[in-house]
Amino acid sequence: MSLPVHWVPSLTDARPGAVVQVEGDEAHHAVAVRRLRVGERLALTDGLGTRVVGEVAVTGKRRLEVRVVDVERHERPAPSFTVVQALPKGDRGELAVEVLTEVGVDRVVPWGAARSVAVWKGERAVRAHGKWAATAREAAKQSRRSWFPEVSSLASTAEVADLVAGADLAVVLHEDAAATVSGLEVPDGRVVVVVGPEGGLTDEEVAVLEEAGARTLRLGTEVLRTSTAGVVAVGALMARTARWA
């Protein structure tokens, strides 16, 4: 069984024999929930490519000291995958972020599409973004990732078009598209996948994204929910890369 993973803000000075302090909620979860005891092993990551295996040296209510046994530095995976996720209703946004993180997406961009039911404004936007970021962090720990995904701030359609224009491959999922992922070559660079809302993309949005360089594709004959379409598309594309070789 793989070791439990906990997040710390920095592992810059981590080296075998050194002690790393884990504090706050992470320490509480390790000690009170997972009931880790002195001498047990666990993994720590900064979410920026560094992974440490260590042994619990000291425990407290909201404090944990870990003596480093081994340090690993992981390169950022390539190609990189960005998913532009139109805002779904209810808690389906967190579901989308969770499964996208588990499959290996590097960046999630919330998008206020024209037909999005949910609206992020003011304090609601701050809270919603915080939930997405927390969901990504917890899912990254659960899936044993050394690089945590970035959850960007809410993007406009113009900003999504800019992302598409800067990608080595950009695809827009659309149920009426003629082309599929079959035979598609995935370059070793930046891949952007755009997922529309429950009500679908408008003709204007499709036109803007295609003009920016996106390819409109469908996944199959079935119509998927916006919260699951992204993970299916990324899985189909990632299977064509060295990341899943």
Q: Which DSSP letter does residue 30 get? A: I
Distance from C-alpha of 128 to C-alpha of 119, rounded to nearest angstrom: 10
Do residues 163 and 109 lie in contact, with contact meaning Cβ atoms separated by under 8 Å? yes
Give the chain's residues under pLDDT 70: 1
pTM over 0.75: yes
Give every strand in the sheet of 215-217, ordered side by side: 150-151, 107-111, 80-86, 190-195, 169-173, 215-217
Distance from C-alpha of 76 to C-alpha of 110, rounded to nearest angstrom: 22
Residue 1 confidence (pLDDT): 62
Q: Which two tokens stand for residue 220?
A: 């199959």
Taking CA atoms, 156 is separated from 28, 84, 161, 205, 237, in Å, by 38, 11, 9, 11, 25
The domains found in the chain, sorted by start residue, are 5-73 (2.40.240.20), 80-244 (3.40.1280.10)
Tokens 């939930």 belong to 131
Residue 221 confidence (pLDDT): 84
Residue 181 confidence (pLDDT): 86
Note if the bond before 88 is cis, omega within 30 degrees. no
What per-residue string of b and e applies to 131-156 under the rule 16 or more CB within 10 Å gives b? ebbebbbbbbbeeebbbbbebbebbe
Residue 190 confidence (pLDDT): 97
Residue 62 confidence (pLDDT): 85
Do residues 38 and 57 lie in contact, with contact meaning Cβ atoms separated by under 8 Å? yes
